[in-house]
Structure 1
Amino acid sequence: MGKGFHISKTVGIVGIVLGAGALATIIALSVVYSQEKSKNENEVQPPDATTSAPTATPSNEPWDQWRLPQTLSPQTYNVTLWPRLKPDPTGLYIFTGMSSVAFRCEEKTNLILIHSNKLNMTKQPTLTALGSKPAPTIESIVMHTKTQYMAIHLKDELAAGESYELYTEFIGELADDLGGFYRSEYNESGVKKVVATTQMQPTDARKAFPCFDEPAMKAVFYITLYHDPATIALSNGVFTSDEQVSDGTLVTRTTFAPTEVMSTYLLAFIVSDFGFIEQNTDKLQIRIFARQEAINAGQGEYALNVTGPILKFFEKYYNVPYPLPKSDQIALPDFNAGAMENWGLITYRETALLYDEEISSNGNKESIVTIIAHELAHQWFGNLVTLRWWNDLWLNEGFASYVEYLGADDAEPDWNVKDLIVLNDVHRVFAIDALASSHPLSFKEEEIQRPEQINEVFDTISYSKGASVLRMLSDFLTETVFTQGLQTYLDYFKFSNTVYTDLWHHLQLAVNGTGTSLPKSVQEIMDRWVLQMGFPVVTINTTTGQITQEHFLLDPESKPDRTSEFKYVKKYFERKKKGYFFYGLLDTLNVDEWVLANINVTGYYRVNYDNDNWQRLLNALQNSRQSIPVINRAQLIDDAFNLAKAGIIETTLALRTTLFLNSETEYMPWEAALDNLDYFYLMFDRTEVYGPMQVSLLLSNIYSLYSCLCICRYNQINALRVACSTGNEDCKTLITGWFEQLMANPNVNLIKANLRSTVYCSAIAAGGEEEWNFAWEMFENATIASEKDKLRAAMACATEPWLLNRYLKYTLDPEKIRKQDATSTIISIASNVVGQPLAWDFVRANWEYGGGSFSFSNLINGVTKRFSTQFELQQLIQFRDDNTHIGFGSGTLAIEQSIERTNANIKWVEKNQEAVLEWFKKPS
């Protein structure tokens, strides 16, 4: 049982209602002041209760440090919150609350340091003893806005080994900032509705109530929510009771069973009038919540149907029963992340959970099942066992990003989902990890301290490189050994915290148990992938048999801040045999004519060959491509293009790897080729190369493949997209005809769901204001999130600059473009050659205004990816220098990566433009 306060119905209501009468103005002013002045060191505090810490030079005092001292450890929280889903007389949405935290004193101290951010205390906090010794008297309370602490100074010391309870009452704004305890709004049947919901990860639980907001500070949480009787309340724990209470206002008080021991970032509480569907399997309650309209339309059925099987798969995979009695999943109209693994109450964007059989595409369906698998994987790996600090985030997210494919494959075994990790993660992260400004998977704890540093770690390296190296590890250990080590790791550390080397230890125990001998320990093998940035390119000389490797850099002349050594290669290649390669297997497929390494791309490295072997591989692709595994056909294209970008092989050699595609019917090689050719469009669509590239033999036949590529659900989409984008008249006629039919009869959409993204984009690009306005009207009226997303992206395809400028302005108005979608909308506009300079100007003009509405990292990378001139480089550097005083937050690393990428692009274009022009005029 948790230690906490207990209140009667009437006292509870009176105590929590703070927004009435004369107090309304004070509360409103406090909240507004807190919000508007959040950049400053001072914050409004309760009268006579606290003081504000003045801005001062940094000190060694605990409240000036970004990490909590280890003097106190929380045991239980008792949290009561009341979100108001209607604005107060001043127009503000607020929530009021009270919280008690029982904690143990580990070392004697006269200071209680607890996180609190943008909360105004409405009553003097109180401290009581839970043991035999009395609690010290509170001397003063100081709010430290910069480090987000409430510092409670005591007249005497807390005694080591004793437990105490801190009680607080507070008020905060239920803002629309997508972080902490926030509000989401939507319209249903012409009525505006409000949802109170949460996003705590990584450092925003402190915006909901005072707490020890670090992942290692686990505790049990008792949650109570007050809400309008017409709404429902959800939290991590199982619902235990509803009670109608009144003191002038009728409200429902909902209480929840205590949670398991867990971290603050996994907390969730939601008040809404959503509907739900449910299943009960083996005493496990599975529910899908969403807007009532979406539930009535059956959009939650697919998620409900796959959740049970995925949970059963992970129970078997982990050999640990699902730790909770329920699994709730909810689709939110406003949600900045894709999804969040809150324990027992997973939150999603609508597009990540809701599926409509008639309107959603196959891509939407695949995305939903993999995202669900990702979040369910976290219920064990991340929630049951949690990394101690954010410097090891990569293991948490990388692991879920790897096994999501396994869970999705079990749910949809006919889709070959597991292979897509190569396109979606391995190839994707290679592009980032080839930069000198990349970073290792794991940092030292002292490198990741401030909230913006923590946010910056949530990047492609953590997710996709983490997934890639764990897949490699599983492959060379074997899946059996890998899962054995994983299972003992989860069992040993359940309900506690770890560092990543704890997993290596248990994997080593599994290796030892099989009697298998590795050249080095698991930790020694994996440290090279975890503690140093980048990856190697392995060069195999089939004439001499020699193998060499070196750090692969997109710009070989760049100088990484962190050194990376790639050693321990097998020095000589033995044909038709496997050899250890940096203590992983260098798998090779050898025939008399050619040699191919890294079968199925299980290794995290690129491969280069001598020219003779490249020629033999090209001949094999042309004449006997089936002798090369499909994943490696994609690999050969991707490796060749990127080796050419780094100046290691000729660009024309890379282009020749695509010539076999006229007879290729598999999706992965086509997608690899189109992804890499997109780079050519980015670099050359403003140059004389563009014309010949459009009409080249490479792409001129793709539309003829449209009708014969139904063997793969994605190739038909690619065929239509590329044919229309390269100016194929038959394609343009088909697309515009479909869209004209839709404009003539908007209530009957005959365009296939899989093709809508391509059709909408191509028709809007070929049209003008009438087509754009029609799409905007469809967007505003759409009730299915995946359809809205398709239309939102398609409107960025317009070719009229004034339409795109108007659209950019819409991203600053959340009534038109939701805050969660602002960044991706701007990036979509920047992907349009007409829109790119407009988007760049817009970002620069509104950088300071943008604030928390944008994902800085994605935004910077998205609007600069086409940069390839000295003028653009100087603009980018000037932008960085001009905004140093504002800062780039989670985009700090992204700005340096963009500068480095632009430098590499400039060099590549200067070196290759003439050769590429000649090749597209006459491929050879």
Structure 2
Amino acid sequence: MGKGFYISKPVGIVSIILCAGALATIIALSVVYSEEKAKNNNQVSPTDGGTTSKPPVTTLAPSNEPWDKYRLPKNLVPDHYNLTLWPRLTPDLTTGLYIFTGKSTVEFETTEETDLILIHSSKLNYTILENGHLARLTSVNSGVRVPLIKVSWLQSVTQYLVLQLDGKLMTGHRYHLYTKFTGELADDLGGFYRSEYMEDGVKKVVATTQMQPTDARKAFPCFDEPAMKAIFYITLIHDRGTVALSNGEEKGSMVSDNPNPNPIRIFARKPAIAAGQGEYALNKTGPILKFFEKYYNSSYPLPKSDQIALPDFNAGAMENWGLITYRETALLYDKEFSSNSNKQRIATIIAHELAHMWFGNLVTLRWWNDLWLNEGFASYVEYLGAHEAEPDWNVKDLIVLGDVHRVFAVDALASSHPLSSKEEDIQKPAQISELFDAISYSKGASVLRMLSDFLTEEVFTMGLRTYLSEFAFGNAVYTDLWKHLQMAVDANGTELPDTVHNIMNTWVLQMGFPVVTIDTKTGVVSQKHFLLDPDSEVTAPSPFNYEWIVPIKWMKTGAVQSPYWLRGKSATNDAMKALGTEWVLANLNVVGYYRVNYDEENWGGITGLLILFFKLIPVINRAQLVDDAFNLARAKIISTVLALNTTKYLDKEREYMPWESALNNLDFFYLMFDRSEVYGPMQDYLRKQVTPLFNYYKTLTENWSKVPDGHMDQYNQVNAISLACRTGLEECQNLAKTWFKQWMDTNNNQIHPNLRSTVYCNAIAASGANEWEFAWSQFKNATIATEADKLRSALACTKQPWLLNRYLEYTLDPKMIRKQDATSTIVYIANNVIGQSLAWDFVRARWSYIFTQYGGGSFSFSNLINGVTKRFSTEFELQQLKQFKEDNAEVGFGSGTLAVDQSIERTTANIKWIAENKQNVLNWFRDETKPVF
């Protein structure tokens, strides 16, 4: 699944799978933002004939019975399903509900005798077929007695259809299990669900799916575990004039005007396709697919590749085999409305999902505890695929900002977790959902990038190819990949300090990462578990005592040196001694997953070098130095003043990555100090530093009339305007207000798409209700999803509390804010210093409703909890957070469970950090902004 939350995910149940049968009223599809009916949880009965009855639902006390365990027994193995689904795209006249009906026959083989059938089922009603039971069992093998069903019921907690038999199923024999069922085609964004939009004043309905990780069972009864791979023969019943899509190619239809099948197709709302918004994705999909065929040395394994943009989609994208589903913002591009960051997101998410066609779908991990390998791999190679599509962007470098630095912030907490969990520790759907986090995606990507680098890409891909070949159409565990990579190492004669298995397990089986300290006076190189709060208690055991086998790429006074491996707590490398004016810089291009610290003399040399000759240090490492320094300071390893000193050269810096790194770290200072007396001097200093960058882009763009040529330059132009306006540079604020007013006065938006997010935000922040209402009306009438997203974010920038409170209330109404966007809108409001406390009060007061309505398994809950609490830095806020956890223990937090503990830990650390650093920081900013006479 695509990140971001993006969010990208592996195939939910199997590799060849229904997983997304997207039925649409048209699929060049039709859209925008319009009315959705609230979810109705009433039971419905089948409407396609037959005797009906509401099946019994049983909830039992914990026991040792098979149906009270969350994992399926391994005695039944599915071979194939014959599945028919019939969604009703108009509401039932009696109940007013949208429903779907279906029937399924699954053929399975018995691997050991049993008198019990367990098959996953959730939120489905069943037709009573015969003898008062919910299913029918027959034998594939002639002459084999078929046991009768004695008792059948639905076990709601573990989500099973349970069938107890009056005799044993025989080992080695095959059986058919037939079920007939009804479900609600709700708007809950999970399982088989409903998406709505307006086109030419007419409401259109799409029936689509999101089944990962455990929601296939909401659409039809199935063995809903990744190792239970099977073949699916799918029949979709739909109205004339509508289009049906599924994973495989169409084999037959009663509709005469179906589109001709093509190898690559893009589907979306009809106006979006007509406007050419699918062209970019269509043009880039082919080259990216060809790249992965070459990279994997494996042909694309399906007869077609469909990609569809859905008006309502909770994740970023989902890699259903042969039919990838996306949010509109992740697939559709319009040069009049989409920024270069929108364009990059589309290229990287397409690459991420296409990577899964092999890694995740062709070969599927056996169980969810290895999710990190699936998502981490796709999150790594998405940059390689996007580079193939857009070689001029230099996008591969951006993994450092987008993944490595991003996940460092989470993995430096004592409440982090290892990449790979024990299989027995991941059982419940909520535990599975929790794994879809920054650790699985971004740490997974970071350590695999490190692995590819020290093996070399040639050896890495050699092992990857034999792995995919051996396990094609099957399942694997992460150590199977280590085995194949070791085979490639041996064949190539690559020298390593240990086996791939032993090296990589130090990064996979323990949480966190090291800070590597280099003493250039003695040559001693040491490592220590890096914690943002060094006083936090690490209770999680480590099989390696928090030591890693660390590959170190480094340079000395500008010259690249031979790589060095650190094993154990410390070692001496005489080559790393620096004499006189020599200096050492480690972790070149940030290919290693660790931070680097130096002795004071080397730090002094580097910070001096930044001020005088910063171009002697590679761009990526300039970004690294800033990020490492600020985080080492938060961990009390170096002084905060030393970290701040790394920003003094920025008035001369014109590259995007160092600026972005600095702004990401200074955001922490904003969060900690934008409610204190430090705020004013901090604003003065940052305004002084960014003004030269602002003027540079003013000149480069001929007074903002042109767009910079380079991809990174376009990003940094946005940074220049954003920070200049944020720090109160009057010229910048007037520019934003003028552009916005011209749009209001003429109803002709001339603001370049790259600049819209920051201009909208700053103009709304500096204005009142009229500007907010104008932006709201533009949001409601937007027909381009990326433009709507920019406006939705900017609306949260107002300084008017009453508008922010009203906006928060809108998130509870799907007519105002789509369900898929509700939690991120609350986070946008919490990012605003005026809105933070309002958002926190709102979430606390309505947690039960938010949790229920927006899905206990929603992947966005960790983002929500982190988003509304990240500014917390007082004892009062810490106590509120602990009380919130206690008050809602019964309701639960779903995928946000770990985020609650992380927020408590982060708040505790913030309180201590402010107490220790506030005065020094205030003095530093004041000193740096004193007038020079």
Taking structure 2 as the reference length, what is the TM-score of the superposition?
A: 0.89
Distance 1:61 1:35, change over 3 A: farther
* Match of residue 202, structure 1, among 213, 216, 221: 213
Shift in CA distance, 567/752, structure 1 to aligned 2, threshold 3 Å: closer
Alignment pair present for 1:338 and 2:316? yes
Q: Report the secondary structure of 1:524's partner residue.
A: helix
Alignment pair present for 1:451 and 2:461: no
Aligned to 1:243: 254
State the partner residue of 2:34.
none
Cα distance in 2, alignment partners of residues 762 and 571 from structure 1: 43
Per the alignment, in what secondary structure is the counterpart of residue 682 of structure 2? helix
Find the partner of 1:578 among 559, 563, 578. 563
- The answer to whether the Cα contact below 8 Å between 1:31 and 1:120 also exists between their aligned partners in 2 is no
SS at match of 2:100: strand
Instruction: Give the counterpart letter for 1:139 in structure 2.
Output: K
Mean Cα deviation higher: 586-595 or 232-241: 586-595
Tell me by how many angstroms 1:466 deviates: 0.0
1:589-600 map, 5 Å: 592-600=581-589
SS of the residue corresponding to residue 237 of structure 2 reads strand
Residue 704 (structure 1) aligned to one of 695, 716, 719: 695
Q: Give the stretch that moved more between structures: 572-581 or 209-218.
A: 572-581
Distance 1:555 1:898 in 2: 13
> Any conservation in 2 of the 1:702–1:722 contact (CA below 8 Å)?
no
2:611 paired with 1:630: no
Q: How does 1:155-554 map to 2 (within 5 A)?
A: 155-243=166-254, 285-554=263-532
Q: 2:71: which partner in 1? A: 67
Q: Do the aligned partners of 2:554 and 2:586 also contact (CA within 8 Å) in 1? A: no
Q: CA deviation at 1:134?
A: 2.3
Structure 1 contact 127–167 (Cα < 8 Å) conserved: yes
For each residue in 1:334-357, what CA deviation from the matched residue of structure 2 results, as whole angstroms up to 9, or x when unmatched?
000000000000000000000001
Counterpart in the other structure of 1:724: 725
List per-residue Cα deviations over 1:811-858 (Å, max 9, x = no partner).
000111001000110000000000000000000011001124163211
1:730 shift after superposition: 0.7
SS of the counterpart of 1:99?
strand
Amino acid at match of 2:319: E
Deviation per CA, 1:226-245: give whole Å up to 9, x if none.
1110110000010111116x
Question: How far did 1:123 drift?
Answer: 3.0
What is residue 754 of structure 1 aligned with on the other side?
754
SS in 2 for 1:866: coil
The equivalent residue for 2:737 is 736
User: SS at the partner of 1:922?
Assistant: helix
Inter-partner Cα distance in structure 2 for 1:645 and 1:236: 49
The answer as to whether partners of 1:135 and 1:158 remain within 8 angstroms in 2 is: yes
- 8 Å CA contact 1:243–1:253 kept in 2: the answer is no
CA contact (8 A) 1:129 1:135 kept: yes
Distance 2:555 2:184 in 1: 67
Q: In structure 1, give the amino acid aligned to 2:244.
A: A
Counterpart of 2:111 in structure 1 is 106
How far does the alpha carbon of each residue in 1:189-214 deviate from its partner, in whole angstroms, 9 at most, with x for none? 21111100000000000001000000
Please give the residue correspondences for 1:19-58 in structure 2 after superposition, counting only pairs within 5 Å.
Answer: 32-34=41-43, 50-53=55-58, 55-58=59-62
Name which of 667, 682, 695 aligns with 1:678: 667
Name the CA shift for 1:230/1:537 in 2 (closer, same or farther; >3 Å).
same
For residues 406-425 of structure 1, the C-alpha deviation after alignment (integer angstroms, 9 at most, x for no partner) is 00001100000000000000
Give the whole-Å Cα distance in 1 for the aligned partners of 2:798 and 2:430: 35
Do 2:195 and 2:311's aligned partners in 1 also have CA atoms closer than 8 Å? yes
Amino acid at match of 1:227: H
Q: Secondary structure at the match of 2:128?
A: strand
Aligned to 1:849: 849
CA distance in 1, matches of 2:902, 2:577: 36
The letter of the residue matching 1:82 is W
Q: For 2:627, give the aligned amino acid.
A: D
Q: Quote the residue 2:8 is aligned against.
A: none
Does the 8 A contact of 2:552 with 2:586 survive in 1?
no
Q: What does residue 566 of structure 1 align with?
A: 547
Distance change (3 Å), C-alpha of 1:801 and 1:614? same
Question: 1:863 corresponds to which letter in structure 2?
Answer: V
Deviation sequence 1:273-309 (CA, Å, 0-9, x none): xxx8x995xxxx1000000010001000000000000
- 2:544 aligned with 1:555, yes or no? no
2-structure distance, mates of 1:794, 1:87: 36
Aligned equivalent of 1:895, options 885, 900, 913: 900
Change in CA separation of 1:128 and 1:177 when aligned onto 2, cut-off 3 Å: same
- Given residue 79 of structure 1, which amino acid in structure 2 is its aligned partner? L
- Distance (Å, rounded) in 2 between the aligned partners of 1:574 and 1:294: 51
Distance in 1 (CA, whole Å) between partners of 2:408 and 2:424 is 27
Residue deviations 1:709-733 (CA, integer Å, cap 9, x gap): 6451111100000011111111111
* Counterpart code for 2:920: A
Deviation at 1:515, TM superposition (A): 1.9
User: CA offsets per residue over residues 429-448 of structure 1, 9 Å max, x none?
Assistant: 00000000000000000111
Provide the secondary structure at the position in 1 that maps to 2:675.
coil
**1:845–1:912 CA distance, 2 compared to 1 (3 A):** same
Q: Which amino acid aligns with 1:64?
A: D
Whole-angstrom CA distance in 1 between matches of 2:214 and 2:681: 51
Q: In 2 relative to 1, CA 111–745 (structure 1 residues): closer, same or farther, beyond 3 Å?
A: same
1:149 maps to a residue whose letter is: Y
Q: Which moved more, 1:538-547 or 1:456-465?
A: 538-547
Cα separation, 1, equivalents of 2:552 and 2:760:
54
Please state whether the residue corresponding to 1:409 is helix, strand or coil. Answer: helix
Alpha-carbon offset, residue 920 of structure 1: 0.7
Mapped to 2, the partners of 1:629 and 1:182 lie a distance apart of 49
Aligned to 1:40: none
Contact persistence 1:224–1:253 (CA under 8 A)? no
Find the counterpart in structure 2 of residue 78 from structure 1.
82
More contact order relative to length (CA 8 Å, sep ≥ 6): 2
Structure 1 pair 498–708 and aligned structure 2 pair: CA distance change class (3 A)? farther
Within the candidate set 577, 602, 606, 1:617 is matched to 606
**Tell me, what secondary structure is at the counterpart of 1:438?**
coil
Q: Check 1:860–1:596 CA distance in 2 against 1; reply closer, same or farther (3 A cut).
A: same
Is contact 1:578–1:588 with CA below 8 Å preserved after alignment?
no
1:412 and 1:566 mapped to 2: Cα distance? 39
Q: Secondary structure at the match of 2:825?
A: helix
* 1:714 alignment partner, SS class: helix
Q: Is the CA contact (8 Å cut-off) linking 1:123 and 1:168 kept in structure 2?
A: no
Q: Which residue of 2 aligns with 1:265?
A: none
User: Is this contact kept in 1: 2:53–2:128, CA < 8 A?
Assistant: no
Q: Distance in 2 between the 1:391 and 1:548 partners?
A: 31
Q: Confirm or deny: 8 A CA contact 1:138 1:153 kept in the other structure.
A: yes
Equivalent position amino acid for 1:845 in 2: A
Deviation at 1:922, TM superposition (A): 1.3
**Structure 1 residues 48, 224: closer, same or farther in 2, change over 3 A?**
closer
- Cα distance per residue 1:145-169 (max 9 Å; x no partner): 0000000111111000000000011
CA displacement, residues 36-59 of structure 1 (integer Å, 9 cap, x when unaligned): 9xxxxxxxx986795332x33211
Q: Which amino acid in the other structure matches residue 547 of structure 2?
A: F
Aligned length: 853
Q: For residue 550 of structure 1, what is the amino acid of its counterpart? A: K
Mark the CA change 1:86 to 1:542 in structure 2 (over 3 Å): closer, same or farther. same
Residue aligned with 1:619, SS: helix
**Unmatched segments (≥5 aa) in structure 1:** 1-27, 37-44, 245-251, 255-275
- TM-score of the superposition, structure 1-length normalised? 0.90
Instruction: Decide whether aligned partners of structure 1 residues 737 and 31 sit closer, same or farther in structure 2, where only a CA change above 3 A counts.
Output: closer
In 2: Cα distance, 1:903 partner to 1:81 partner = 51
Partner amino acid for 2:441?
A: Y
